[in-house]
Structure formats: structure tokens, C-alpha cells
């Protein structure tokens, strides 16, 4: 019989979903304010989280978010390696698990940057510039333009998967929700995945342009994608809708922190051996 008490890994995973949700709430909320002309900013995760420094106990709050993001990175890696969600070894399952592994690396990097900001040691530069830096490095490698184009194609494919999930996917598949919460959680999840899909398409498009032109300056991160929407015809509406979707994804992340089904693997070899022996 499974212990009713949550394991440390489950607690870390829930803290991670909460930290990711808060990050998206800040990114989306600040961009919504920018869209309606009430201040705010169209920036990425790092710049949005840096606004916490202006709050009481800001460095403590930022440090807690950094710890949560590191926890999420750890959970993503464990989730990918152990197949905690039982995705299987089909092409789709392996692709999802590979995406989780990449996600773990990206959130780990974000956690380090946010922790450095909390400690007053800088945050490693703006996200857009960081993306340009690694793109410039990649372009200098053999077949560098092809590599950058390949990354762009993968990002666009991920965006397409998010849009498909928003359209007809079961966004609450892994949630143990109360019946009355399912309708609004489904709407928030679909809206959020749609917004992420649009942003991923833009970022992937920037990478394709950089590959074609061998020009790393063409690359933009999340903040650059939001600014691109703002600069289009009807830009305020486009930015506002997308930003609201990102905020909705943040709210969905907070729901995940509370209600997601998390079945962490037993990483203790001795305990696993005992469990196998009892099952015989």
C-alpha cells in the first residue's frame, strides 16, 4: 500500500509547478499592463521576476522562486529519464520525454540566473541577448546554420504541439480536479497553451531567419516575441490577448501545483528491491 504522505520529490515537483506558474503570471500580467498602457513591460521571465526585488522581502521572494524553478528543473529531468508519467517508448512518448529533458535544462539555467539576481550578482544578462549569444556560438560551428535552423524547426514543432493541445487536447489529463473546477481549469489551460504556441512559433521563426541570414541578431526570446506582437497592426490587441493567455497558463500552473497527479519513482535502490521482493 502506498504511503499517503507525499515524498520529497513530489513536494519539489509541486513547488516547481507553482514557481513556473508564478513566473508566467508575472510575464503575462506585466505584458497585459503594457498592452493597455498602464505601465508594465514586455519582457521575458528574468525581467518579470526581477520586479519582485521592488517588493518587501524581495530578495527572499526571488530566492524562493529560484529554488522552485530548480525543483521544477529536477522534476522535469526525473520525469523524462524515469518515464514517471508513463508516456512509453512510442515516437510521441519519446518526443515528449525529450522535450521534458530540454525543459529541465532551460529551467535549471533560469533558476541559476534568478538565484544570482537574488544574491545581487546580476542575472546573466537579458534573455534576448543570451539567446543571441548562444546562436552566435552555434553559427560558428561546422554546419552551424543548419543546426540553428534545426533548433528553430524543433521550436516551431513544439509550438504546433501546444496549439494542437489547446484545440483538442485533454489539458486536465494529469489533474485530479474537483468536478466543479474542471470547466474553468480546462478553459485556462487551453487559452494558456494557445498563447505558448504562438510565442514558440515566433521564437522558432526568428531562429529560422537567423539560420538563413547567418545573423544571430535576428534571434529574440520571449520578450522579443511579445514586442514583435506589439509592433504589428492592432498590436495592442494581439499583445493583450497573448499576454492574457500567458497569465492564464500561469494560473493553470498554480492549479497543477495543487492538483496534478504526481507519481515519483522510488529512487532508493534498496526500497525498490524490497518492493519487487514483496510483489513476488
Query: In the predicted model, what is the mean pLDDT of residues 108-137?
Result: 85
What is the three-class DSSP state of 175?
A: strand
pLDDT score of 246 more than 50:
yes
Q: Could you tell me which of 134, 140, 120, 108 has the C-alpha nearest to residue 19?
A: 108
- In this predicted structure, what is the pLDDT of residue 128? 80
- In this predicted structure, what is the pLDDT of residue 3? 54
The tens digit of pLDDT for each residue in 189-241 reads: 999 999 999 999 999 999 999 999 999 999 999 999 999 999 999 999 999 99
Element (H, E) at 18: helix 8-35
Place of cell 504541439: 161
Confidence tier at 277 by pLDDT (50, 70, 90): very low
pLDDT score of 16 more than 80:
yes
Q: Are 198 and 255 in contact (CB under 8 A)?
A: no
Spatial separation of the C-alpha atoms in residues 27 and 23, rounded to whole Å: 6
- In this predicted structure, what is the pLDDT of residue 265? 77
- Cβ neighbors of 166 (< 8 A, separation 6 or more) are 189, 190, 191, 192, 193, 194, 197
Amino acid at each position: 500500500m502506498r504511503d499517503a504522505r507525499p515524498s520529497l520529490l513530489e513536494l519539489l515537483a509541486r513547488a516547481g509547478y507553482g514557481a513556473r506558474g508564478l513566473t508566467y503570471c508575472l510575464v503575462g500580467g506585466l505584458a497585459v499592463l503594457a498592452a493597455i498602457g498602464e505601465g508594465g513591460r514586455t519582457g521575458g521571465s528574468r525581467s518579470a521576476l526581477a520586479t519582485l526585488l521592488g517588493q518587501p522581502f524581495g530578495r527572499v521572494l526571488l530566492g524562493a522562486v529560484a529554488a522552485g524553478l530548480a525543483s521544477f528543473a529536477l522534476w522535469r529531468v526525473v520525469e523524462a529519464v524515469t518515464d514517471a508519467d508513463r508516456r512509453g517508448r512510442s515516437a510521441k512518448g519519446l518526443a515528449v520525454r525529450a522535450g521534458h529533458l530540454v525543459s529541465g535544462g532551460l529551467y535549471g539555467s533560469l533558476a541559476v540566473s534568478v538565484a544570482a539576481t537574488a544574491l545581487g550578482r546580476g542575472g546573466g544578462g537579458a534573455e534576448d541577448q543570451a539567446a543571441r549569444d548562444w546562436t552566435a556560438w552555434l553559427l560558428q560551428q561546422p554546419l552551424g546554420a543548419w543546426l540553428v535552423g534545426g533548433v528553430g524547426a524543433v521550436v516551431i514543432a513544439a509550438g504546433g504541439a501546444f496549439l494542437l493541445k489547446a484545440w483538442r487536447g485533454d489539458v486536465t489529463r494529469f489533474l485530479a480536479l474537483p468536478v466543479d473546477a474542471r470547466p474553468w481549469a480546462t478553459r485556462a489551460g487551453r487559452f494558456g497553451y494557445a498563447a505558448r504556441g504562438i510565442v514558440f512559433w515566433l521564437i522558432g521563426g526568428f531562429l529560422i531567419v537567423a539560420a538563413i541570414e547567418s545573423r544571430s541578431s535576428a534571434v529574440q526570446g520571449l520578450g522579443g516575441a511579445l514586442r514583435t506582437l506589439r509592433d504589428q497592426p492592432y498590436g495592442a490587441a494581439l499583445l493583450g490577448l497573448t499576454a492574457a493567455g500567458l497569465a492564464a497558463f500561469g494560473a493553470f500552473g498554480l492549479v497543477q501545483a495543487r492538483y496534478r497527479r504526481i507519481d515519483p519513482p522510488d529512487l532508493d535502490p534498496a526500497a525498490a528491491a524490497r518492493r519487487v521482493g514483496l510483489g513476488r
